[in-house]
Structure 1
Amino acid sequence: MSALSPIVSEHESEEAAVHYDRWFREKVRASQEDDRPLIPHDAVMAEMDDIIRAAEERALRRNSTSSK
């Protein structure tokens, strides 16, 4: 395993860089071939806002019952 300079690469070795490159290219290829309908960014963000809000509410309820 040959080491790569952290200044030049974020990977510890050439083998790790090659492995990541293969993985990344496969992910891109699969995404390009995916025929499912696209979801608009605003719809995804609205759903994430709902998920975050619900998690915050659960945390507040959990914290308010544990402090009593």
Structure 2
Amino acid sequence: MNAVLSPLVSEFESPEKESSYTAWLKAKIERSRSSAKPLIAHDQVMAQARAVIESKRKKHAHG
């Protein structure tokens, strides 16, 4: 099938690409859900990211 899907209807170029992406995403989600790694709260991740960004700003402001 060579049907080109409208970007207004689908962000994928073909049903095959959509199917492939969906399978990849479902596998990634399943790996994440079955992981034994400890969960990190969104707020904690954002605080760490902000600290890294601020550190880089200060370094480049004085560098």
TM-score bucket (shorter structure): 0.7 to 0.9
Aligned to 1:18: 19
Aligned to 1:66: none
Radius of gyration: which is bigger? Answer: 1
Aligned alpha-carbon RMSD (Å): 1.4
In structure 2, stretches of 5+ residues that fail to align are: none
TM-score calculated relative to the size of structure 1:
0.76
Residue identity over aligned pairs, in percent, reads 35
Count of residue pairs the alignment pairs up:
62
Aligned to 1:65: none
Aligned to 1:3: 4
Aligned to 2:60: 59
TM-score calculated relative to the size of structure 2:
0.81
Whole-Å separation in 2 of the counterparts to 1:50 and 1:24: 30
In structure 1, stretches of 5+ residues that fail to align are: 63-68
Structure 1 consecutive aligned stretches of length 4 or more whose deviation exceeds 3 Å: none
Whole-Å separation in 2 of the counterparts to 1:12 and 1:57: 44
